[in-house]
Each structure stands twice: as structure tokens, then as C-alpha cells.
A = this chain, B = another copy of it.
Amino acid sequence: MSRFLLNLPKTFKTNLSLIKKYSTLNSGAIEHLGSIVGSNNYSITEAVRTHHAKDESLHEEAHPDVVLFPQNTEQISKILQFCNKNKIPAIPYGAGSGFEGGINAVKGGVSIDTSKYMNNILQVNVEDFDCWVDAGVTRKQLNNYLKDTGLWFPIDPGADACIGGMCSTSASGTNAVRFGTMRENVLNLECVLADGTVIGTAGLKARSRKNVAGYNLTNLMVGSEGTLGVITKVSLKLFPQPETIMGAVAPFPDVATAVQSTVEIMQTGLQIARIEFLDEKSIQANNIYNKMNLDETPTLFLEFHGSKGTVDQQAEVAMEICKSNSCKEFQWATDPEERNRLWHARHNSWFAFKSIHPNRKAISTDVCVPISKLPEVLVQTKKDIEEFNLKTMIVGHVGDGNFHTFISLDTTNKEEMKNYYAYSEKLVRHAINVEGTCTGEHGIGLGKMKYMEEQFGKPSVDAMRIIKKALDPNNILNPGKIF
């Protein structure tokens, strides 16, 4: 309970009727927080709070008491100082495109939305292949801005997520197999800690490619899902736009042959830029949603980057491997339009899936395993989907051993929900048992908390709890997540 509430000023006139009963915040606290960001930059309306109450996941809405739209780091520092003093939960909010309930305000409190004002591209160092951006910048915004520089930022989780949110979950996506995840591509972060302290995780200004001074606070913040600090500015690695890009589509008779081809392609060590698996149902959904005409069978989408010579060579090797695994017809997609249609389709898989299952809830699973275990796990997954009689499709960043099942649910159907939970649990346990992880890119949020000790054992999770308690003793930063 907020100490602030215990010393309530007597003269407040604010209309409290808009604040739901379960609100733990009084008008005085809200007025003070509002005064930090300015009267037009906070909201307690039902609509705005509902918009900030949940992400794309199944987890039920949990409303913040107030949504703040700060304009700068200094305001966020003042907000956290106040929240820390008064034990008010504070949840950073970017695009709300998460899959594990990471932004749901399960203990109420303050949602800090950086997307409205803190969305500027601050510095692009073309010669050094790096940049500084506000946390609220989205990846598409950044890449549009970079178009004419000859550079791009490859990390691509599908949704047009905010860079700050992508740091919080250590996002990755279709290009990770070549360019790595956020972990490998963040050079420095400006963050605000629970007590309002502003830090530079790699140094005040450092952006050198290598930096081993002190503890790696950058990669402690990356993936901490807003529980250790509020990320305000990000320094990112950038990459030269590829000289040549070649795409290909490889349809297979079954899951096993498609995945076996992936394993063999990765084992050649050739630097493929993207290698994505879509099962027959994904292709079906994409054909309908994107008006395409692909063979409705397990399929790999591949992409190669580099000089013309390199690309041709790599594509040749990949084609040979696919054909030796009974690929039906290895189709090139060289012209940009054709290629863009393919990747547009891949990125729209989520929306395609939703559209063919209207009036139902769609969710996505996320496990990652050593690539040699992928055939076993994916084949078993297909069996389980049958057994549990679920409406699904499977897409996967299979080059990393990471895949997702999209599942369409009637959340009012007890039987169906029971099957979904049983399926999901079986999938995660299988991944952990084959030396994989319960999450390859979505994070823990609310959804995977129960698997933390299974994957890590209690001592490791306790070590994380010790760090959380040390940096956020009042547990105000996104409380109720990860542990």
C-alpha cells in the first residue's frame, strides 16, 4: 500500500469516478504524476487504460490506474522517484505487441508509454554502422529513416515493435539466424532505475563495437522485461543494405524432410540470411489472406544476402540439399516484387491466421531447441496437435531451432482450453528436456513464469531474484512478471 495514501492531502477536487474501484491510486497521486508530464499527457479514461491493459496474449486485461506519456528521460526519472517513494507499480509500454502478458498491469499502477513523444531517431553514425534512438522508435520507422543511408537494422520480430520493447524482450525474428538477436546488437542503453537514477549501461557515451569495462549491464537490461529499469534511449548496431538479395520457396512432402533440409543447410555453415518454416496450414492461410497460389504443403522460405556471386553459390548449395530431401520444386524469387510478396506473406502469417478463424482468440507458443532436436520436436508437435484436436498453424525461425504454434481458441470452450493448456505444457517440457528453452524470443512475462524453475532450477532463479531485489527493493518495476 502506498505510503502516499497514508498522508492524503485534504484538498483534492479531481473527479475519481473514472478510476475503477480496484485502483490503488488516489487522485492526489494521479494529479502529481500528471503534473510531471503535463495535463494533456496523462489519461485515466477507461479506453486508454484498457488499451494499456494487455498485449497480444491470452492473459486477461489488467488495467493500469493511469497512463502517462512522458516527453523525456527527466520526466521518467521524476515519475519513478515518485513511484518508488510511494510504492506505486510502474510498467514501461511501447507498442503492446508482446505475446506473454509482459505489459499487463497485474498490480495496477502507472503505465509509462514512450511511443507518443519519445520516438526520435537521435543520431545515425553511418561510418560506424551504429545509431542512437529513443525507446519509442519502431523498427519500421528506423528502417524507413535509414533507407537512403545504405544501412538497415535487421532485427525483425514481425510486428512493428518499439526498439525499447524489443530490448525488453530481447526480440529477434526472421533475420536472427544471420544477424543475431537484440542481445548481439545493442551497444549501449540509457535507462532509468527504480529510484529514478539515470544510467548508461555501457558508459555515458560509449558506442565502440567492443567494450569489456565492468559488468555487462547492457545485456542485463536486454531481456529483463521492464523489471530492472525503464529503457529510454538505445544505441544499436546497423548493417549495410545487402548488395544482392535472392529469395526462394521450397515445398516439401512433409515436416520431417523440410526440417531435415534446414538442419543440413545450417550444418554447411553457409551464411543464410533467413530460413523460415511454414506448415501446410500456414501456406493455406497465406494463400487465402494474401491471394497467393503456393503449394499447400510444409515449406521453407529462404533468403540469401551478399554479392551476386556469393548469393548464387549459397542458393545453389541450399537447392541441392533441399532436392536431396525430396523438395518438390525449388522456386527462385529473384525480382524484388515477387520476393517482397513472399516475406510480406510470412510477416502477415499472424493476421492471416486470425482472419481464417474469425471471432476466436489467437495465441502463439514459442520454444527453441538445439537444431539437431528440431525434427524430433516438430514431428511430435504435429502429432500432439492432432491428439489435442487444436486449430493451429506452425511457423518457425528454424535456422535457430525456434518455432511457434499459432493456436485459435474459443476461450469459452472449457474442453478446448484444457487441451490447449495440456498441449502447451507438453511442448515446453519437451523443449526443456532436449536442452532447449521455454522461450526463444517472446520472453517470460506472465505466461512462462511457471517454467522458470524447471528450466533453471531454483538456485539460478533465486540469483535473478537477488538481483531484482537489489536493484528494485520496493518491487515497483513491472511487478508480478518473470518470477
Contact = CB atoms under 8 A, between A and B. Distances in A.
Contacts of A267: 127, 129, 240
A463 interface: yes
Interface stretch (A195-203, A333-341, A416-424): A195-203
A400 interface: yes
Contact of A313 (B170, B310, B397, B400): B310
A47 interface: no
The listed residue with most B CB atoms (<10 A of its CB), out of A128, A172, A212, A464, is A212
Contacts of A216: 170, 183, 216, 219-220, 222-224
B213 A448 contact: yes
Interface stretch (A108-116, A246-254, A343-351, A438-446): A438-446
A357 B437 CA distance: 53
B203 A463 contact: no
A193 B463 CA distance: 9
A266 B208 CA distance: 14
A200 B457 CA distance: 8
A159 to B, nearest CB: 16
A325 interface: no
Contact of A442 (B212, B228, B271, B437): B212
Interface residues of A, number: 94
A74 to B, nearest CB: 14
Contacts of A219: 183, 216, 219-220
Given A203-B456, A471-B463, A212 B439 contact: yes
Contacts of A462: 197
A212 B456 contact: no
B223 A401 contact: no
A337 to B, nearest CB: 25
A172 B211 CA distance: 10
Given A213-B448, A215-B224, A204 B400 contact: no
A181 interface: yes
The listed residue with most B CB atoms (<10 A of its CB), out of A176, A307, A482, is A307
Contacts of A271: 271
17 contacts: A129-B269, A181-B212, A193-B463, A199-B457, A200-B460, A203-B456, A204-B455, A206-B435, A208-B400, A208-B401, A208-B440, A209-B401, A210-B402, A210-B440, A213-B456, A214-B460, A214-B461
**6 tightest A-B contacts by CB?**
A240-B269, A470-B470, A127-B372, A219-B219, A211-B437, A199-B460
